[in-house]
Structure 1
Amino acid sequence: MLIERITPCGRGDARPDPEEAGTTGRLAIAPLTAADVEPLAERLWHEAVYRHLGGLPAASSAVAAWLHGTLAGPRPDQPPEQWLNYVMRLADGGEIVGLLQATLHEGIAEVAFLLAPAHWGRGLAAEGLRWLHETLGRVSPGVACWATTVPEHRHCQALLARAGYVRAEPPVMPALSTYDEGDWVYCRPGE
């Protein structure tokens, strides 16, 4: 999904509860705030991060604009959605390492994660995704989680499989806002 597709909107009730923060052992995770946007955008503005997301934006400011849009929430004229956006930091030192997202709509959760390349291969995305699943279990008990990726993104597919996701084929999948023609779709049943 291209980051330009999400436009700033503004429904504040769609934001995560500030109390929904926690730690995982190596990560401190908290709702994304305006103060997090610039440093997170700088960390994520990397060709390797956007290789499978439509290409590197022209500048980190484009990533920051997209992140500000996620803070604003869905447009008032959209069907009801709740956007949960969390920043991941190293518990030891507080360095920002990535972003976790969930969009709750129509009885499902669409999840996504982005991690700065300097922290790849250490299990941090898996750790963050486990925390997100636990949070979703409290926020929306029993909700099924859905994720999309391009067929070439083997690391993402392996991570989703380790997290309990199973590949789904259309027409089994619901209408997903993150789906682009040709994407592979994964589902993790609600608990």
Structure 2
Amino acid sequence: MPTNPGPGPRAFTTARLDALPLDPAHADEMATVLADPALYGSTGGGPPDPLALRARYERQAAGSPDPGERWWNWVLRVRTEGCLAGYVQATVRGPRAEIAWVVGTPWQGRGYASEAAKGLVAHLAAAADVRTLVAHIRPGHTASAAVAAAAGLAPTGEWEDGERRWVGSPVSPAASPCG
């Protein structure tokens, strides 16, 4: 396993998705993907303005100012449709990664979030030697809880900012069905 995987994330694929390293050029399409106010019912906030999203993507693509921390972000392209449908992200610090995912409303209910999260976990284990995974999920957000469970995480008794901490370890990349 590499100990210094480089400055940015590499693309990875799953059965139906291409996870592409985030680029500010994705902002306009992603603003449309993230436009449904229903996406923010559990997290707060609202749909992003395309210009503000581009500025955020520029900051994220530049990476963390902390040299011991890597911000890895990918947009998710549904291969058969050729369009973006969401994102996955990881903040990697040594062998630990905090992960998150969002799939736009039109693509929900198709298993894309679980597929992307499992692919992310396998990718992090192989590309960054991640051994501990953490996600934070709001109470009652059953869809995100199901995604976390599918990715091998389990709820803990710990809470942060009103969200339950879920923790897990990646399965061996060789055993993963995602590439």
The verdict on a shared fold, with TM-score over 0.5 as the criterion, is yes
Q: 106, 119, 133: which is aligned to 1:145? A: 133
Give the equivalent residue in structure 2 for 1:123.
111
Deviates more, 1:150-159 or 1:116-125: 150-159
CA distance in 2 between counterparts of 1:63 and 1:55 reads 13
Question: Out of 8, 13, 20, which is 1:15 matched to?
Answer: 8
Aligned partner of 1:38 among 16, 28, 42 = 28
- Spell out, residue by residue over 1:50-70, the C-alpha distance to the aligned partner (whole angstroms, 9 max, x if none): 222222156343333323321
In the aligned structure 2, how far is the partner of 1:79 from the partner of 1:31? Answer: 19
The one-letter code of the counterpart of 2:44 is: G
* 2:92 paired residue number: 104
TM-align CA RMSD = 2.0
Counterparts of 1:36 and 1:60, CA distance in 2: 10
Structure 2 length as normaliser, TM-score?
A: 0.83
Question: Partner of 2:162 in structure 1?
Answer: 182
How many residue pairs are counted as aligned between the two chains?
166
Structure 2 residue corresponding to 1:48, chosen from 31, 34, 38:
38
Gaps of 5+ in 1: 1-12, 171-178
Per-residue deviation at 1:79?
Answer: 5.6
Q: 2:147 aligns with which of 156, 159, 169?
A: 159
Q: Which moved more, 1:24-33 or 1:51-60?
A: 51-60
- TM-score, normalising length: structure 1: 0.78
Q: Secondary structure at the match of 1:169?
A: strand
Identity %: 30
